[in-house]
Structure 1
């Protein structure tokens, strides 16, 4: 388990070292630190999650669907209907939403699986706690966003022109263009990736502090008071694990919802 393995890095000797960046580095292949490349545990988990999710939906839809659904069909339909209706149709609108449902469903299920990996025994690490994964997902969303925006606005020039709201004084238009350009091309993608990454990294560090801190107090506390604090730390970590599960679902939902909002903005005639 990653928490137990991490204890060797965090609790050394008679002093407690707080969890940090080293607890997010899980090299499995070529982890010698030469700085060239490495295959890490998060990369393996992310790849396995993509294969499992793909297999799950293909296996359910590849055969005749039953009127009374099985458990697997019920789960697949529940996830699809949630993304299709609650996120896609309600946010993008009934006219344009259906073509974006595959992207939204992929984002939601992939992020949710890799978020929940943070509390799955023997994995216990959220892949989305490594910044590379949120960045890649954000790049995919924003390529889609800008392609849709260029097409819906009638060309790249008109798309750039739509960044300036009509009716502004001439002296204000350059300022507004710069602000809108930074918003659509820098701030939105940056915050979309950092929000997911930051919440998953912070949640994992929080659980590490309580679990490894509790272990250290139990083993090295030296008196009944500190050892009792260690027990309380373990108990609180269990409570926070359930809270983290809620956060993991919310972050998958928020990322997918914001992706839908941005796509809806791009598909509309006006910003």
Structure 2
């Protein structure tokens, strides 16, 4: 449950705001880049590596424990994310897609882990870097397999479209493939985690203030409402966190497929 609170006056409740996303170095005088989100990213990487190692380092014929969990995740990513877009090329890209899915999922779930309580994707730099990595792979595959001219032609060509219409259509579809797709990839994830974190912080601060800080007969009901809303939103947020990890990995598979096939 989110418990981050901003109190600027001892007698007045103040709702949390953008200061939730502004982090100082983890220790005084430390480098500016070494902040809480960076530590969470490192911790998330350790968790993903540890889970995959525990699941696949010594596979047994009959999966149990961590191997069962690992195989379930692998099957889900292969069947629901990789194969719909990549088809016969799915297995070649499973390592990357599984890593992306698990990484984003752990990033998101950090928002509801006690003490940590910050979804890394709510800091725009991290989903941007991940999306840029997929973007570079997409463009590289497109140029490598089809050449610059062939790749651009595959993107722009639309059967039956009159020649004069390409003057309007080509700039739009090129902007979609090379600009809009990148932004939609990371902004969707960032916006959902940002808004979810802010909402949880808001309602939990209401509950904390009106129950623990300034308990009054009139404020008690508002405090209880804040607690109940925090619990309900935490459950909803868990679903959204999984959904956003799925969508991010699914878009990654679609973009990789577009590079391989030379189309949009």
Question: Would you say 1:26 and 2:23 are equivalent positions?
Answer: yes
Q: 1:44 aligned to 22, 39, 47, which one?
A: 39
CA distance in 2, matches of 1:215, 1:52: 31
Q: SS of the counterpart of 1:162?
A: helix
Q: 1:91 aligned to 75, 85, 89, which one?
A: 85
Total equivalences in the alignment? 263
TM-score using structure 1 length: 0.89
Alignment of 1:7-26 (within 5 A): 7=5, 9-10=6-7, 12-26=9-23
1:143 maps to which residue? 136
1:194 maps to which residue? 187
1:69 maps to which residue? 63
Q: SS of the counterpart of 2:156?
A: coil
CA positional deviation for 1:266: 2.4
CA positional deviation for 1:219: 4.4
What 5-or-longer segments of structure 1 have no aligned partner?
none
CA distance in 2, matches of 1:115, 1:270: 31
Q: SS of the counterpart of 2:70?
A: helix
Q: Deviations over 1:171-215 (max 9, x none)?
A: 321322211111011111101111000000100100011000122
Q: Deviations over 1:90-120 (max 9, x none)?
A: 3221x21111111111110000001000001
Give runs of ≥4 in structure 1 deviating > 4 Å: 219-222
TM-score using structure 2 length: 0.91
Q: SS of the counterpart of 1:182?
A: helix
2:152 maps to which residue? 160
CA distance in 2, matches of 1:28, 1:55: 27
* Residues 110 and 270 of structure 1: CA distance in aligned 2, closer, same or farther (over 3 Å): closer
Alignment of 1:216-235 (within 5 A): 216-219=209-212, 221=214, 223-235=216-228
2:104 maps to which residue? 111
Q: How large is the Cα RMSD of the aligned pairs? A: 2.1
CA distance in 1, matches of 2:79, 2:215: 57
CA distance in 1, matches of 2:171, 2:184: 18
Q: 2:76 aligned to 82, 98, 102, which one?
A: 82
CA distance in 2, matches of 1:242, 1:98: 33
Q: Contact between 1:11 and 1:212, CA under 8 Å: does it hold in 2? A: no
Q: Contact between 2:107 and 2:120, CA under 8 Å: does it hold in 1? A: yes
2:48 maps to which residue? 53
